[in-house]
Structure 1
């Protein structure tokens, strides 16, 4: 194959055409002008005025309605655990009548705690639904959520520790 020689003038014309093609106007390019958000100094602290917002009384009432049965049931669970502890303290060896009776009492105490466990799940679901819905949670709402949640968790921890203690005593 034979190469055709390119004249320097033709070569310069080709380079000029390519160079001018890059200078064509772009009609849909974004503007390089400063946007309003760029005028804000990022070092300035942002004032949190959310503490002044009023709490949602309906939220606190709804969360209390979910938690109150658990708090009411806590006394029943405490009594069932006390019965199980008493029977476990006097239980004979595994498989004996007294040991079986203590195991059944422990099972009754665990079953009595079910409303507390259910209330914790419903409480968490209600708060998660509130967050997922995009509804506001002001600091006062969050304080109410934390207080009720903390009270539920304390009851649950106390019961679980007592039930575990009875279980350890019976599994000796």
Structure 2
């Protein structure tokens, strides 16, 4: 039976090939206006903008610490606001509305901890840059700041762990 279908299929394919459109696609060669642009002279280079004086590393590090401390205050506020929903969700059966609300509240508090982790990463990158540049004083100052922020970060993680024990 498949032997009889083979000639019919070949005939059908040959017939359908005549239905295919023969289109002339546009050329990818440059158009006349593009050729003119290619021949034109290059525009003169723009002068470099004036570079502002860099912020001293100590001020920059202080700003990062201040942002992280402000973010920690917001984290603590979010934690206290979400604590009842998280505790109610922990006591509720898995999949219930209270459980889902507790999970969402926990996630929002966990997200509020992100700025401190980001600040830790930024300071670590800057410490590595200072170490690579051989700037021992800046490296030491950043290391001290890292210790401060690490304490904030660990306190946040500990607070989250007490709310949602493993």
Normalising by structure 1, we get a TM-score of 0.57
Larger radius of gyration: 1
Matched, 1:152 2:149: yes
- Deviation track 1:42-73 (CA, whole Å, cap 9, x = no partner) reads xxxxxxxxxxxxxxx92321211222211111
1:88, distance to aligned residue in structure 2 (A): 2.3
| Structure 2 unmatched runs, 5+ | 1-54
Q: Which runs of 4+ in 1 moved over 3 A?
A: none
| Structure 1 unmatched runs, 5+ | 1-56
2:88 to 78, 84, 90: 90
SS at match of 2:134: coil
1:148, distance to aligned residue in structure 2 (A): 1.8
| RMSD between superposed Cα atoms in Å | 2.1
Matched, 1:166 2:129: no
d(CA) in 1 for partners of 2:78, 2:100: 16
More contact order relative to length (CA 8 Å, sep ≥ 6): 1
Instruction: Report the counterpart of residue 50 of structure 2 in structure 1.
Output: none
d(CA) in 1 for partners of 2:136, 2:102: 49
Instruction: Report the counterpart of residue 117 of structure 1 in structure 2.
Output: 117
Maintained 8 Å contact 2:127/2:143: no
d(CA) in 2 for partners of 1:136, 1:148: 14
Normalising by structure 2, we get a TM-score of 0.59
d(CA) in 2 for partners of 1:85, 1:146: 33
- Deviation track 1:59-118 (CA, whole Å, cap 9, x = no partner) reads 321211222211111111112222332212223121111111111011001111111111
Instruction: Report the counterpart of residue 137 of structure 1 in structure 2.
Output: 137
The number of equivalent residue pairs is 110
